[in-house]
Amino acid sequence: AAYAEEAMLAAARHPFIVRFFGSTNDGVKSFILTEACVGGDLSSLIQARRAASAALGEDVARSLAACVVSALGYLHAQGLMFRDLKPENLIRDERGCVKLVDFGLAKRTDELSYTLCGTAEYVAPEVITMQGHGAAVDWWALGVITYELLHGLTPFSAEGTLDRPVDIYRRITHPDFKVSYADHLSKPALSFLKRLLRRKCASRLGASGAAEVRGHGWLSHIGWAA
């Protein structure tokens, strides 16, 4: 597994995926050398804003989400799904952009996977029900992260309580559980979140590919080539 992770990371060439330089081991542990991303992970930024009761604005959230969309589009085009997208695996560089790190759960997309994997708050419904999942799980996780950037907490967590994974899984999969959205969201932002957080993966934004996500109105101001 460690070798597969290293091989996938070494082959990646994208500005929003951490750059791999080499690896070694001491006979017990393996060590991977990558570029330094000095801005901390996205989780730290979210927690700091939550402590200050100040969620990120849409402009900042949009820029961060665009970095992830670009990286996921690249990976999916290479035939890979990331499967562990969460704020802890998004590291900020000196410009404030985010880069994907930790390919430990990444897998080829040429066949469905039936493994229950990932972190509870960011796991897609089809992973929990073990009906077989593909790259659409990454777009679901992007929806959860974008929601968290704009609200300060994840859509399926109960604020002020210590959730068990089973409680979160139940909310994610139960059709009667309705996600609450902040009144201050713009209509394009609301549409972006709702379309990414569709429980049926076939109707989820991104099911037809990354171009569908890039083309959404909330991201219309992004200069993708730049």
Q: Which residues are catalytic?
A: 84
| Residues in the chain, overall count | 226
Q: What are phi and psi of 37, to 5 degrees?
A: -115, 105
The one-character DSSP state at 17 is B
CA–CA separation, 156 and 166 (whole Å): 11
CA–CA separation, 42 and 3 (whole Å): 26
Beta-carbon contacts of 5 under 8 Å, excluding residues fewer than 6 positions away, are: 103, 104, 106
